[in-house]
């Protein structure tokens, strides 16, 4: 099943009857509190979900800035959002899915089989002329969903270190952070040795929608992603990398996530770091984008304030 749903397709699902739950997951490093935006306008019936408090546990040096929440706590929150076993969940944000993908990945990892990302985010819903609600929504009826982690592949730090020797490890952060030229959040700059620079913003078209599956497949092939090798992604704290996992799913690849990501790696002084441009990818060149992340022709890595 595609991880995406278009605005009008979602509207049709909602019109068909109950059993579809909408979660508003607005968040960014610049504006971590997405509730004001939710109150100003959201999809009718959507429940606001706080990424920092509900989709993450408190950060630690060993686990990174956004560790996975304990599954019992996530289940309690999901029931409060009204989620029920066997029903559909649609998540969205106002940043092309870069934050909502965290909810998509986490809930599917916890066993919900039909979780989708609203393609084009809130802006696409508005552009389609679909209704918008303002202010707080009534609390939904309590749900009964049962959650357990283990439904999506994950890597720990040792596995992330070993993967480039046999597969492809993608770094979803801005290319300047990958190269070690800047690091605004974490204790050390650079990247995991052997990882390839693959900014998550490259998955989106200018309107903030996911690029077509054929384009994404060519993009990842240019990075050396193959069906007979393992591929995984990391970012600053495991949020944006979920968007990379979703983009790979659109392209037909199953990918693992390193939840601790760079914040956990850089927080361990015994972990080596690499700096500078990425090594040459193993695949054919992607005609859509330059392959050298230091090339000034490369399109901007991330919109200001995009989550990492």
Q: Which residues are catalytic?
A: 235
Task: In the chain, count H helices and then E strands.
Answer: 11, 9
User: Phi and psi dihedrals of 232, rounded to 5?
Assistant: -145, 165
Exposure b/e, 93-113, CB count within 10 A at least 16 = b: bbbbbbbbbbbbbbbbbbbbe
Measured distance CA(208)–CA(308) in Å, rounded: 16
- CB atoms under 10 Å from CB of 294, counted, come to 15
Q: Which of 256, 217, 219, 258 is nearest to 238 (CA)?
A: 258
3-state secondary structure at position 89: strand
Q: Which residue has the tokens 């819903």?
A: 125
Nearest CA among 86, 85, 89, 6 for reference residue 47: 89
For residue 266, what are its two tokens? 């850089």
Residue 279 per-residue DSSP state: P
Residues ≥6 apart with Cβ < 8 Å to 33: 50
């Amino acid at each position: 099943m595609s991880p995406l749903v278009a605005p009008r397709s979602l509207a049709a699902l909602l019109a068909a009857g109950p059993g579809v739950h909408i979660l508003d997951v607005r968040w960014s490093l610049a504006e971590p509190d997405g509730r004001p935006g939710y109150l100003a306008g959201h999809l009718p019936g959507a429940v606001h979900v706080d990424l920092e408090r509900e989709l993450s546990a408190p950060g630690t040096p060993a686990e990174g800035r956004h560790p996975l929440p304990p599954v019992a706590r996530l289940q309690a929150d999901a029931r409060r959002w009204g989620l029920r076993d066997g029903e559909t969940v649609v998540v969205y944000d106002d940043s092309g899915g870069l934050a909502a993908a965290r909810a998509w990945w986490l809930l599917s990892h916890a066993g919900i089989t039909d979780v989708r990302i609203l393609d084009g985010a809130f802006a696409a819903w508005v552009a389609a002329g679909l209704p918008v609600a303002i202010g707080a929504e009534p609390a939904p009826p309590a749900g009964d969903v049962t959650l357990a982690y283990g439904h999506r592949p994950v890597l720990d730090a040792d596995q992330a270190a070993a993967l480039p020797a046999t597969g492809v490890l993608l770094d979803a952060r801005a290319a300047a952070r990958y190269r070690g030229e800047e690091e605004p959040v974490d204790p050390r700059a650079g990247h995991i040795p052997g990882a390839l620079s693959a900014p998550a913003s490259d998955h989106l078209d200018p309107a903030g929608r996911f690029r077509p599956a054929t384009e994404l497949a060519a993009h990842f092939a240019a990075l050396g992603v193959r069906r007979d090798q393992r591929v995984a992604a990391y970012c600053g704290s495991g949020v944006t990398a979920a968007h990379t996992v979703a983009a790979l799913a659109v392209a037909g690849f199953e990918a693992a996530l390193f939840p601790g990501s760079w914040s956990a790696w850089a927080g361990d002084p015994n972990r080596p770091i690499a700096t500078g441009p990425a090594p040459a990818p193993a695949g054919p060149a992607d005609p859509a984008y330059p392959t050298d992340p230091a090339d000034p022709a490369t399109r901007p890595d991330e919109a200001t304030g995009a989550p990492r």
